[in-house]
Structure 1
Amino acid sequence: MARLFATEKAGGSALYKLHAVTVFAGICLVLCYRATHVPAAGAGRAAWLGMLAAELWFGFYWVITQSVRWCPIRRRTFKDRLAARYGDRLPCVDIFVCTADPQSEPPSLVMATVLSLMAYNYPPEKLNVYLSDDGGSILTFYALWETSAFAKHWLPFCRRYNIEPRSPAVYFADSDNKPNDPRTLEEWSVVKDLYEGMTERIDSVVRSGKVPEEMKVNHKGFSEWNTGGTSKDHHPIVQILIDGKDKGALDSGGNVLPTLVYMAREKRPQYHHNFKAGAMNALIRVSSVISKSPIIMNVDCDMYSNNSDSIREALCFFLDEEMGHKIAFVQYPQNYSNMTKNNIYGNSFSVINQVEFAGLDTWGGPLYIGTGCFHRREILCGRSFNKDYKEDWDQGIKTQHRIDQTEEKAKSLATCTYEHNTQWGNEIGLKYGCPVEDVITGLTIHCRGWESVYNNPPRAAFIGVAPTTISQTILQHKRWSEGNFSIFLSKYCPFFFGHGKIRLPHQMGYCLYGLWAPNSLPTLYYVLIPSLGLLKGTPLFPEVCYMTSHISVSYDLH
């Protein structure tokens, strides 16, 4: 049977290996010179030995990097084969979006992301979109309520004209998307006016900080805020704004709408909320009583869907008859729309996206980076790999249920005390106790015998907004560096935790990021000490000798 995806070796690997051999020879020569020419005594000796230590570290770190650069691979999917083979028998998908603060994450931006996810090129009755609001803000709920109404017009518009991208904020901002056909232009203008009206109402409510009283009577969900509460102290809220199982939940074209759910897990000052990992685990439990889809996708609230076929591409890996049973999750890269030409802060992650994750895919799969990822639900719930295991792709809650009863049951799963004396955050769900909970969760999944896949299609699957200032960039990299280094120093160090469970190059690939933080020390030493040595006349490098030769030239003047 024809495969649903192909694996290809990246071009130029032979040339790179030749280059790597020459670099390795150069490293050996540098270390040999440094070790055999140590000064006898004085300040120069200490500086020289420090240079030797720094160069030993750089040599070691270079060897570690070869694990992800030696033989990268590329993946290519065949969506036409998926459609021909499975037709309407595709599995249901739960989509998780996490937000926390309506001030730092504007609700209008978050709603554009939600709309892009609801508009996937996928059967809408099999899509369930969940928004986790860790701030428990009535402003965010109001924005989602507005979104549920606008989706009735936006989704059929996307399907009718097969537009890309399906974020209305991005689509309408590009003047090239304005159609020339008068009929199409008329509908385009109507939908654009509806979107701008919705955005203006959301922004107006956020600026005022208050939802008008006359609007609160239009949906029972607003009563959840009658008892007060703050972003750090509030009861659990679960509201199903669109029930995809309800035959009356139709868009303007008469088609079923995806399920849309708002969740704010309970927060109390005396209980640790475990940040994004806690929100994700609450979403896993809440979705288990509303939809319980076998596939879970999660994305950050500022990473809109740029490719409406991303779900189908991910399923090409999960549903492949030969290799699909081994795959735990499919990771897409992070791409950004606000990159400048020079990209002075290095936030495009070009090396990570184009080289390193493709190299990790060779040895067992890329890291889980916390966004743009498709997981099997049962693996997030702690299942270990078994070659005889068969996934039930038809699982999920398909029967119609009473919304009020389902919401009350879901609320009980989002309380602060639910996880007490359970394995949530340890053996089940995302890991707790680490700033980069996504990385340590992915490592645990790999160590349970599963593999992951890196998919980087020609059209980016997700696009977000990168830090634009040096302070934002430093803060982000500080969190990543500290988090990955804490993993390296913990019991989850890939060299120990992964020993005998994942291959050595895979362990090295994980440590590549775990050693970001200590790598800064020899780098700083190498930047400062040679400069100071030059000022003081202390030689730390070989002297360069120039050899001249006298060449006599005779000219024939005749």
Structure 2
Amino acid sequence: MTEGHDSRLFATEKGKGMVAYRLYATSVLVSTFLIWWYRATHVPSIGEKGRWLWIGISLAEIYIGLYWIVSQFLRLNPIYRHAFPERLSQRYSDKQLPGVDVFVCTADPTSEPPSMVISTVLSVMAYNYPSEKLNVYLSDDAGSVLTFYALWEASKFAKVWVPFCRKHTIEPRSPAAYFSNIHSVPDTCSTKEWYYVKELYENMVIRINTVVKKGKVPEEVLANNNGFSKWNEEMTPKDHPSIVQILVDGKGYDAVEKDGVALPTLVYVAREKRPGQHHNFKAGAMNSLIRVSSVISNSPIILNVDCDMYSNNSECIRETLCLLLDEEQGQNIAFVQYPQDFENNNCYDIYGNSLTVNMALDFPGVDGWGGTPYIGTGCFHRREVLCGRPYSKDYRENWAKGVVRISDETILDMEERAKSLATCTCELNTEWGNGIGLKYGYPVEDVVTGLQIQCRGWKSAYCYPKRAAFLGLAPTTLEQCLVQYKRWGEGNLQIFLSKYNAFLVGHRKLRFGHIMCYYLYGLWATTCFPTWYYVVIPSLCFLQGISLFPKVSHINCF
């Protein structure tokens, strides 16, 4: 490892075996040039059968070869970061650690079951981190009373679940994942206690699933809880007012404790939606959460996760802070990206949904050039940078900042102030979606947002701990895969063809290798054309007796 002396909170290790890989890459490059030379010197003459097919496959090979050359920028300089959380604990007390706002986004209670969403919420509420420093926000873009009901149920179960997790240091802290393993009873926990908590969770899931199936919250719940009064029969997923409700206030008024363990703040947010008003999808939801959280907690660190990516590592926040609080390099890092890992993949991953190559090889390679892209989930941001702060060498974060509550302000007063920041009109004539927050107008708004931040001079870091930080569910059908890959391919190509092309915005701001890494993803969708040609045309030519490849007996091809 380099830079790994005792004062550092993290160390950087260069990839191993790079000399051998570069020799291998050189041999492939030479072979590629020989193929191009063969194609250029053996073009069928004018009028000869198969001439244009030969030219077509030559162009396909040239394009694929060039794309491979670009891909090597991701392989030539990989780095791996290793955090030292024990040094963080020695250097900073819990009171000195910064606050963290966790954003969980959901948009449809049908395709994203509320029981799954609350398992993600409960997993991040149970982080091994001071509860008074932790705030969890659930953004419900459908404004569904069913999702709110599920979160209300989760807020009650959290009074048992969070102390249980911290008392017995269990992993993972998603109850759905934890209780799916019948051998997960910790040594410090009695079987009776384990089954008691498991029964509470299962009964809660049954109640939630029953309500979701009926599509209606029980009358006795509606009558005894004022929070449900915000919904009426006229509200639809595309037409509803802004709703902000603090279900658990972990910082004062009604801090809930059990066994001496306080709960983090838990907030439900549904931004306003109206017909004819563009809501900008997930980017709009994230920007709304940034504004709403600014008047409730305003933590300097923001973590955003998708509703199907539960926390699998309770030490994740502390590992991230090792990178952000490091005295030598931490002030240069704008965001820390974790990989997307999935729990439902197996050895028969026929659609390549595990993303193993991307997460284990490509992203460390991009990190070596100046920082991995922002991929929209499992990412810790500095709030100030996400809100547009430019880079400066003398920048120092005020980790102690946060919302100072007005002494006589009630929770209802705070909710009303926050609601005004989640309306359709609050962004009019502002820089939100342009210079502030996530970028609007792109299917992969996360990538272009990260690119903007890096072009302002900031770095990013990629953290790949031994225990996966987050686990989710990968697409399992061909239709789901095609929809996802279409979105990624179309979005990255749109960025490549726009004014946010990595070369245009990153010229003299990003290293050349870093730009090439963005180009690799930007041009990924276009490789379908030469690939299709190479797969289909030679087979058809074979049926017609047209040979597009040299025979083994052709010893003088080159």
TM-score interval w.r.t. the shorter chain?
A: over 0.9
1:379-458 aligned at under 5 Å gives the runs 379-399=385-405, 401-458=409-466
Structure 1 residue 250: Cα displacement: 2.0
1:287-326 aligned at under 5 Å gives the runs 287-326=293-332
Structure 1 residue 113: Cα displacement: 0.5
Alignment correspondent of 1:45: 51
1:162 corresponds, among 147, 169, 183, to: 169
CA distances 1:353-372 after superposition (whole Å, capped 9, x unpaired): 11000000001111100000
Alpha-carbon distance in 1 for matches of 2:333, 2:54: 49
Please report the RMSD computed on the Cα atoms of aligned residues, expressed in angstroms.
Answer: 1.3
CA distances 1:55-86 after superposition (whole Å, capped 9, x unpaired): 11112101110110112111100000001011
Alpha-carbon distance in 2 for matches of 1:379, 1:519: 34
Query: Which stretch has the larger CA shift, 186-195 or 110-119?
Result: 186-195
Structure 1 residue 179: Cα displacement: 4.8
Alpha-carbon distance in 2 for matches of 1:249, 1:469: 44
1:59 corresponds, among 60, 65, 89, to: 65
Pair 1:145-2:148 in alignment: no
Pair 1:536-2:541 in alignment: no
Alignment correspondent of 2:376: 370
Alpha-carbon distance in 1 for matches of 2:266, 2:22: 50
Alignment correspondent of 2:518: 510
Equivalent position amino acid for 2:20 in 1: L
Alignment correspondent of 2:22: 17
Pair 1:6-2:11 in alignment: yes
The structure whose Rg is larger is: 1
Q: Is the 8 A contact 2:309 2:472 kept in 1?
A: yes
Structure 1 residue 533: Cα displacement: 1.8
Alpha-carbon distance in 2 for matches of 1:179, 1:327: 37
Alpha-carbon distance in 2 for matches of 1:546, 1:461: 54
Pair 1:79-2:104 in alignment: no
CA distances 1:83-117 after superposition (whole Å, capped 9, x unpaired): 10112210000000000111111101100100000
CA distances 1:120-163 after superposition (whole Å, capped 9, x unpaired): 00001100000000000001001101111000000110011100
Q: Is the 8 A contact 2:77 2:369 kept in 1?
A: no
Alignment correspondent of 1:106: 113
2:102 corresponds, among 95, 103, 108, to: 95
Pair 1:260-2:260 in alignment: no
Equivalent position amino acid for 1:174 in 2: N
Alpha-carbon distance in 2 for matches of 1:118, 1:543: 64
Alignment correspondent of 2:487: 479
Q: Is the 8 A contact 1:317 1:324 kept in 2?
A: yes
Structure 1 residue 402: Cα displacement: 1.7
Pair 1:234-2:240 in alignment: yes
Alignment correspondent of 1:28: 33
Structure 1 residue 247: Cα displacement: 5.6
Which of structure 1's runs of 4+ aligned residues deviate more than 4 A? none
Aligned partner of residue 474 in structure 1, secondary structure: helix
Alignment correspondent of 1:134: 141
CA distances 1:157-210 after superposition (whole Å, capped 9, x unpaired): 0011100000011111101113577x6111111111111111111111101111
Alpha-carbon distance in 1 for matches of 2:125, 2:469: 14
Q: Is the 8 A contact 1:245 1:398 kept in 2?
A: no
1:493 corresponds, among 501, 526, 537, to: 501
Structure 1 residue 10: Cα displacement: 1.4
Give ranges in structure 2 of 5+ residues lacking alignment.
1-5
Alignment correspondent of 1:208: 214
Alpha-carbon distance in 1 for matches of 2:235, 2:300: 34
Alignment correspondent of 1:284: 290
Alpha-carbon distance in 2 for matches of 1:489, 1:428: 22
Structure 1 residue 406: Cα displacement: 0.8
Q: Is the 8 A contact 1:247 1:256 kept in 2?
A: no
Query: Which stretch has the larger CA shift, 394-403 or 340-349?
Result: 394-403
Q: TM-score, normalised by structure 1?
A: 0.96
Alignment correspondent of 2:3: none
Alpha-carbon distance in 2 for matches of 1:373, 1:407: 27
2:179 corresponds, among 160, 172, 185, to: 172
Give ranges in structure 1 of 5+ residues lacking alignment.
548-558
Alpha-carbon distance in 2 for matches of 1:362, 1:156: 40
Query: Which stretch has the larger CA shift, 274-283 or 241-250?
Result: 241-250
Alpha-carbon distance in 2 for matches of 1:383, 1:219: 41
Query: Which stretch has the larger CA shift, 34-43 or 132-141?
Result: 34-43
Alpha-carbon distance in 2 for matches of 1:192, 1:217: 28
Q: How many residues align?
A: 546
Aligned partner of residue 175 in structure 1, secondary structure: coil
Aligned partner of residue 262 in structure 2, secondary structure: coil
Equivalent position amino acid for 1:94 in 2: D
Q: Is the 8 A contact 1:135 1:231 kept in 2?
A: yes
Alpha-carbon distance in 1 for matches of 2:501, 2:232: 47
Alpha-carbon distance in 2 for matches of 1:418, 1:161: 45
Query: Which stretch has the larger CA shift, 248-257 or 384-393?
Result: 248-257
Aligned partner of residue 273 in structure 1, secondary structure: coil
Equivalent position amino acid for 1:441 in 2: T
Alpha-carbon distance in 2 for matches of 1:391, 1:546: 67
